[in-house]
Structure 1
Amino acid sequence: MSGLPAQTTVLIVGAGPTGLTLGISLRQQGVDCIIIDTLPAPLPWSRALGLHARTLEIFDALGVLDAVTARSLILKAVHVYGERGPLFSLDLTSLDAPHPHVLSCPQAEVELCLAARFTALGGMLIRGCELLDFRQSAAGVQARVRWAEAEHQLGAALMVGCDGASSRVRQILGISFDGVRYADHFLLADVDIDWPLARDATHGFLLAEGALIALPMPQGWRLVINQGAHDDLQPMPDLTPFRRRLALCLGEAPPLGEARWLSRFSIHRRLAGRYRSNRVLLAGDACHIQSPLGAQGMNTGIGDAFNLGWKLALYLRGIGGGALLDSYEQERRPVARQMLTAVDVLSRSSFTRTAPLRGVRDTVLRMVGNRPGFSSRLLRRASQLDIHYSGSPLVGASASMVTQRRPAGPAPGARVPDALLSPVGEGPPVRLHGCLREARFQLLIQLPPHPDHATVLTLYALATRLPEDFDGLLGVQVIAAGEWPAELQDLTRSAFILWQDSQGAFQARFGEGGHLWLVRPDGHLAYRAPLADADHLLMWLNAALRRRSNASAASIGSQ
């Protein structure tokens, strides 16, 4: 690199999974951005491991899923054992999702794949670059950084702090990071083990003396144990505590290879007081940290970035103003709060040493294991497929839909389910999610089995109106119930993408009849209406995607 640019559109601080995901999302939408990171090179340690089903959908949209999968181990189950044997098992393959499993992939490998994709898209990643401070003005953000043994000024329209739990960006903004630290300490070891436990599942042993979590990795296993105040907290840990805990769990400790990584750590549960201060936003661990149980932290940070990327891109095009940026915190902070609560319950129950609490925990786990419906809901929540933004100002429905009781199909704010569709004409079936990868809104027009005259008129009116009013911001896809109607053959020459629900998969997930489904760039439903309420959808689109004169300080607000 010949020198540090003086200006960019979005400055991202932190080259972890959150910052890199945000960078890819912005580059896919043509937004100029720079990622800086204090470290001169990526950390070599594995760190976070698990990638859930919703994150795999995001990676598919970002164009990195194949690269990440090639470096991963597929996990299909979770097994939990107590002092008297098995307590609970969870079949990950039972998920109704395109990727019904968890990928075990060391964070270092995830970052490698994301960084390669970001730079391939023209993004600039600058390592060994430390953020010293910054100031905001009506014109943007001016950051002072240290790079190549010199101080530089780097200007941007917006800045996002993805710089981890000790976020320098958050500290400069003076945003609180409230929470607690757990009393227990934890030891982690990445090591080879010669034992019969299945390598396509994670295993948890919950004993009176403490817990042992065993997670398969593409190379070897990760072991995590908890230690109380009475345990030997030597500053330089070795494998002795792991051998003791393994012997308690299995009767005798299996042979262990030399540890590739040994670490002692404490667990915090913390949440940032806010996610935005005018032109500067926070994402990932800069906003929330939690226990590693359940593998929620990295996945939640990636979800933050995927939610934020399209909003920044629209704002920079003069759409939405400060209210659009405000929606990021309104949608994602409740997700983090719920995640922190769930992981806190999981961690405290897993690591408790109190006999009555252990008894209650074991009883609950056995009960959950015997109730498939409850296990299914638990699995969907852990996989982050059930995240929704129902209270967001960016989602809605026509009045006729609001008055219906439990209408079929996804609710506004929910993740749009997947379904197989057949192209009109030649070609194999494709997945709906594959049709939504483009980083813009997509309107799905679901036709009734036998379109009447009013339906035909509505379709042709939309074919004329939508490209004129929302060129470049909105894609339109029409889905016929079965074979493509002969009376709509002229639409095959329109800009619309046409599909046939030949197998009834779309109808099974979205219901029957004619409907309008507006999907956001992040795959969540923005708006739903009957096909007869097309005028209501147009009004909603005009309000949501109306261009403003510019993305000025006046429109950004002062949050």
Structure 2
Amino acid sequence: MLPETTEVVIIGAGPTGLTLSIALHQAGVDHVLVERLAEGLNTSRAGVVHAQTLETLEPLGVAGRLVELGLKLDNFAIRDRGRTLLNLDFSDLPSVHPYVLMIPQNLTEKVLAERIGKLGGVVHRGVEAKMVTQDADGAQVTVVQNGREQTISARYVVGGDGMRSVVREAAGIGFDGEAYDGVFMLADVRLDWPLGPTEVSLLFSPAGLVVVAPLPDGSYRVVATMDEAPEKPGIADIQALLDSRGPIGSRVRVLDLTWSSRFRVHHRIAKSYREERLFVMGDAAHVHSPAGGQGMNTGLIDAVVLGELLGDVINGVRPESELDLYETLRRPAAQEVIELAGRLTGMALTRTPLRRFLRNLVLGFVNLNPIAKRRIALKLSGLSRAKMARLPAPSQPGVRKQVMKSEFKLVA
């Protein structure tokens, strides 16, 4: 049963919406989380959680469970087919999580949803947000559930509702950028893979980019750029792709296909993250190439920062004007991520022999420079952007600590 009033309405129960709900539960903030889909996705999609993301999720009580279910990898390698150009070791990262954690998105969402359940919350599925409006007194969300229309009044509304966000459109926030040429293919497969299940491999070739990364169940995630791709690539499509882009001299064999998809990739960022009482986060605020596995990670941290801010404002710890800190911290982080993913994708899409030679030469020099390699590892892990995930102290820190402490007692 949906309430008529609440403090916060969250639209979209993907990873960002679920994470924001956990943060608000722990801050003791009444809220409603609605999702158009009747059930969560059962495909893996985003498959990596980075060190900074895990650190940021620690206070929400989910990082440990994610680590239990995931696969820890130390190595990230960039190759030109059989030739190693750059090898990064994550085992010495300055973090309690010195690794790349491979975990399918459906498991990540399951962990987050289970945490909400333990906190006494619920995800309202099969509820579509049709319209969002706001005025000086609050915001209103018109939703449809089982053919019945209802309006929920809230103090704030947050859109974690993807690239075609209803909230962003209602707020009149621009979404600057454009689409990449061609499409990306995504698949989870069983492989005879000569490089083995110990690294994330980004392979360049004249034909384009392919990323191969092991998953906890022994399968592999394959992501590739393609000029054209069938709606659901089959085993033969993936085999041909790996034959033309995988390591030379070693036979790659696709044994089985769990699922596959194709999608067009955009690189866009919202002109602002807030319009009065309306906020956007995750894919509603920023989208980019999957190169580097940054998208979901950036959105998860968006949700944690916004959740802490909303909790502080609603609990009277911060003035409402400090809600602008959300954009101040998180939009520059997204800009950096878009630039990083864009550079990786641009390098991968280099086709002419001269440009490929120069690219490989530069990466070879970087591979000989420990300082440069560490800087890249810090960027990929998100640790270089840690300051963009930390709020300044609230004006009345004692009040906030008391609220958080009481909530943890309730859920212990």
**TM-score, structure 2 as length reference:** 0.91
Aligned equivalent of 1:329? 327
Aligned to 1:177: 175
Q: Name 2:200's counterpart in structure 1.
A: 202
2:104 match: 106
Aligned to 1:226: 225
Alignment of 1:278-297 (within 5 A): 278-297=276-295
Give the corresponding residue for 1:10: 8
- Cα deviations by residue, 1:411-456 (Å, 9 ceiling, x for unpaired): xxxxxxxxxxxxxxxxxxxxxxxxxxxxx86xxxxxxxxxxxxxxx
Compared CA separation, residues 108 and 84, structure 1 to 2 (3 A)? closer
Q: What's the % identity of the aligned pairs?
A: 36
| Matched-pair contact (CA < 8 Å) for 1:243–1:253 | no
d(CA) in 2 for partners of 1:90, 1:354: 26
Separation in 2, partners of 1:471, 1:210: 54
Q: In the alignment, what sits opposite 2:242?
A: 246
- SS of 2:325 mapped into structure 1: helix
The residue matched to 2:167 in structure 1 has which SS? helix
Distance in structure 2 (CA, Å) of the matches to 1:364 and 1:350? 14
Which AA in structure 2 matches 1:35? L
Long gaps (5+) in structure 1 = 396-439, 442-465, 476-559
Q: State the AA in 1 paired with 2:107.
A: E
Q: Which residue of 1 aligns with 2:86?
A: 88
CA distance in 2, matches of 1:19, 1:83: 38
Alignment partner of 1:61: what SS? Answer: helix
1:504 is aligned to none
Structure 1 residue 318: Cα displacement: 2.9
Distance of 2:103 and 2:126 partners within structure 1: 25
8 Å contact kept, 1:33–1:123: no
**Local SS of the residue matching 1:202:** strand
Indicate conservation of the 8 Å contact 1:225/1:242, yes or no.
no
Structure 1 contact 74–102 (Cα < 8 Å) conserved = yes
Specify whether residues 140 and 218 from structure 1 end up closer, same or farther in structure 2 by C-alpha distance, changes over 3 A only: same
Aligned to 1:306: 304
| Contact 2:132/2:140 (8 A) holds in 1 | yes
Once the two structures are superposed, residues 5-37 of structure 1 have per-residue CA deviations (whole angstroms, 9 ceiling, x without a partner) of 111111111111111111111111111111100
Pick closer, same or farther for the CA change 1:89–1:185 going to 2, 3 Å: same
Shift of 1:240: 2.3
Question: Structure 2 vs 1, CA of residues 470 and 173 (structure 1 numbering), >3 Å: closer, same or farther?
Answer: closer
Partner of 1:522: none
Asked if the contact 2:57–2:304 (Cα under 8 Å) also holds between the matched residues in 1, the reply is: no
Q: Highest relative contact order (Cα 8 Å, sep 6+), 1 or 2?
A: 2
Match for residue 473 of structure 1? Answer: 400
Q: Report the AA paired with residue 240 of structure 1.
A: A
Amino acid of the structure 2 residue aligned with 1:103: L
d(CA) in 2 for partners of 1:242 and 1:253?
14
- Bigger CA radius of gyration: 1
**Alpha-carbon deviations, 1:194-230, whole Å to 9, x = none?**
23323121112211122221111112001122223xx
What is residue 258 of structure 2 aligned with on the other side? 260
For residue 407 of structure 2, what is the aligned residue in structure 1? none
Post-superposition offset of 1:235: 4.1
Q: After TM superposition, give the deviation of residue 290 of structure 1 in Å.
A: 0.4
Task: Indicate conservation of the 8 Å contact 1:349/1:357, yes or no.
Answer: no
Shift of 1:380: 0.9
What secondary structure is seen at the aligned counterpart in 2 of 1:361? helix
Please give the TM-score of this superposition, normalised by the length of structure 1. Answer: 0.68
Q: Which amino acid aligns with 1:172?
A: A
Shift of 1:474: 5.0
Output one character per residue of 1:27-67: Cα deviation in whole Å (capped at 9) or x when no partner: 11111111100000001110101100011112221101222
User: Do the aligned partners of 1:7 and 1:155 also contact (CA within 8 Å) in 2?
Assistant: yes
Q: What is the correspondence of 1:118-157 to structure 2 with a 5 Å cutoff?
A: 118-157=116-155
Structure 1 residues 376, 240: closer, same or farther in 2, change over 3 A?
same
Distance 1:89 1:153, change over 3 A: same
Tell me the equivalent position of 1:117.
Answer: 115
**1:244 CA drift (Å):** 2.1
What CA distance in whole angstroms lies between the structure 2 residues aligned with 1:40 and 1:474?
Answer: 36
- Partners of 1:56 and 1:310 lie apart in 2 by 16
Query: What is the Cα deviation at residue 307 of structure 1?
Result: 1.1
Report how many residues are paired: 398
Q: Which amino acid in structure 2 is aligned with residue 472 of structure 1?
A: V
Q: Which residue of 1 aligns with 2:409?
A: none
Matched residue SS, 2:180: strand
Output the amino acid matched with 2:382. Q
SS in 2 for 1:86: strand
Partner of 1:374: 372
Task: Note the C-alpha offset of 1:123.
Answer: 2.2
Q: CA RMSD in A?
A: 2.0
Instruction: Go from structure 1 to structure 2 and tell me whether the alpha carbon gap of 1:341 and 1:471 turns closer, same or farther (over 3 Å shift).
Output: closer
TM superposition shift of 1:252: 5.7
Distance 1:236 1:104, change over 3 A: closer
